[in-house]
Amino acid sequence: MYFKKALITSILLTVAPVSQVLAQSTDVSAMPAGSLPAAPVAAESGDCSKGFLSRFAAAYREDAQPADPNAPTPARRAMDAPLDSPPFPSAEWQLGGVAAPIGVPDQNATYPLEKALGCTKLGGWMQRNRIEVYGWVTPAANLSTSDHTNFPLSYNTRPNRVELDQFITTITRVEDTVQTDHIDWGFDISNLYGYDYHYTVTKGVFSNQLLNNPAPNQPLNGKIYGDDPMLFYGDLYIPWVAQGMVIRVGRWLSLPDIEAQFSPQNYLMTHSILYTVDPYTQTGIMTTTKLSSQWTFQIGINASNDTAPWNASARPSLQTCVRWVSADNNDMLYPCINNLNGNNYNYNNVQMYVTTWGHRFSKRVHMLTEAYKMFGRGIPGYGPGGTPDVAGSSPFAGEAGEFGVVNYLNFELDSSNMLSIRNEFYNDEKGQRTGYATRYSSHTIGITHWVTQDLEIQPEIRYEHSYDENAYNGGRKDYQAVALLDAIIHY
């Protein structure tokens, strides 16, 4: 069984909803650039005469205080950050596959867990070795016009309920790419637990909990809540190749998307259809090379989309991107071949060509537009002789493709609030990705409010429509409207 088809089929099963559950951002290049600037270091969270829990609670209180306006700005060997973060999820133009663009300092905030550990031997050792630990919990709720499924909305697939989307723990060391006098190294181990694992799982990495674990009377096959080690990679930074090269080995987030798997890395809490059905992670080896202040080149080999190299479904695949930033820092182009090989469809082996364009109207207003074309070869059920508009009904294998475009228009309201408007068009030409051969549009507006650097709240409303088939609520409607709210609680 291959993942995307298994996921789509399971989502579209007509079953009664389960009882409501009440439970309760990595590619770290997209983490908030410094998040809210750290408050002045206060004695209480660093008072080693107090217990761990007291220091942990004190760190939250300190992070709720106004930031230090005189805090030093870390040195950087790159163009100035084009955006403000917060309130935007990142201050940098999009670039996957690295902890931060080469020449940009580590900008992860110091969150309460790391502060509270500072007095311990472990915490002291981690600080001396620049090893960071942090995470977040994301509970979410939605009200929908659908009562069977919200798909292809993601990740909040189950309608009219509270959900534990994700509980993330990250241990990382970010390589220092500002300096140019020595080789440096980094790593990231990020684990996801929660409902969102349905979308992120890679075949061969704890995938049995989803692919081989049927769940009768549930709207999805697999365990409702599962675990996915989303990231595990090592980085080696070599400053003497061009203006710096990072070699990455392991599992990384798919490079080109505006959106990302981890909650803090997104402008909105839900995802576009375009993002929902494209690849999520790759595992292999890749390089990112800074050619100049404006040009960056990436190339790598992986085991194909959402597939571990040791799994029988693995297919060697090329991945390559180029990023260009204009001299005035107002425009960015990021074309990518996200997956390329000569093999037939196997698990999620789609060929994908994608480009993102970013444009800054001012430091407070910018937009991002992404377009892609995907297709798979030799997909069972998609050859000639099938029933028109019935996905997978052919007795033969064939090619199936899809394309889409999504635009984000983003406004900084003030230092703690941003507004994002997302519009998209998507055409699932044979229904291979969503289960329905139809054109879609979706329209979303949402706000991100930073209460403190440790708490984000994201309300949004969304309307979507299918034009050629009833693709919503399990084939019952041609539209869907949803109101949603989540909270991102950092620790």
Q: What are phi and psi of 273, to 5 degrees?
A: -60, -40
Tell me the CATH number for domain 3-24+84-102+135-490.
Answer: 2.40.160.10
Q: What are phi and psi of 298, to 5 degrees?
A: -130, 140
Q: Measured between alpha carbons, how far apart are the two ends of the chain, in Å?
A: 37
Looking at the DSSP assignment, which residues form a beta bridge with residue 479? Answer: 465
Nearest to 153 by CA among 58, 36, 271: 271
CA distances from 209 to 15, 205, 214 (A): 20, 10, 9
What CA–CA distance (Å, rounded) separates 300 from 77?
25
Q: According to the model, what pLDDT value does residue 61 have?
A: 95
What CA–CA distance (Å, rounded) separates 328 from 404?
29
Q: What are phi and psi of 472, to 5 degrees?
A: -115, 155
- Given a contact cutoff of 8 angstroms between Cβ atoms, the answer to whether 317 and 285 are in contact is no
- Given a contact cutoff of 8 angstroms between Cβ atoms, the answer to whether 304 and 351 are in contact is no
At 379, the amino acid letter reads I
Strands 281-290 and 132-144 come out as unpaired
Q: According to the model, what pLDDT value does residue 139 have?
A: 98
Q: DSSP code of 415?
A: T
Q: According to the model, what pLDDT value does residue 220 have?
A: 55
Handedness of CA 203, 206, 209, 210 (dihedral sign): negative
What CA–CA distance (Å, rounded) separates 196 from 137?
12
Q: According to the model, what pLDDT value does residue 21 have?
A: 29
Model-level pTM? 0.89
Region of 339 (left: φ > 0; alpha: ψ -120 to 50; beta: rest) is: beta
Q: What percent of the chain has pLDDT over 70?
A: 89
The C-alpha angle 407, 410, 414, rounded to 5 degrees, equals: 175
What CA–CA distance (Å, rounded) separates 448 from 428?
30
Q: According to the model, what pLDDT value does residue 20 have?
A: 30
What CA–CA distance (Å, rounded) separates 346 from 4?
10
- The SS3 call for residue 327 is coil
Q: According to the model, what pLDDT value does residue 71 have?
A: 79
What CA–CA distance (Å, rounded) separates 261 from 31?
11
Residues of the chain with pLDDT under 70: 1-43, 213-221
Q: According to the model, what pLDDT value does residue 218 have?
A: 47
CA distances from 327 to 79, 104, 298 (A): 9, 17, 20
Provide the residue ranges of all domains of the chain, joining segments of one domain with +: 3-24+84-102+135-490
In b/e form, how buried is each residue of 38-47, taking b as 16+ CB within 10 angstroms? Answer: bbeeeeebbe
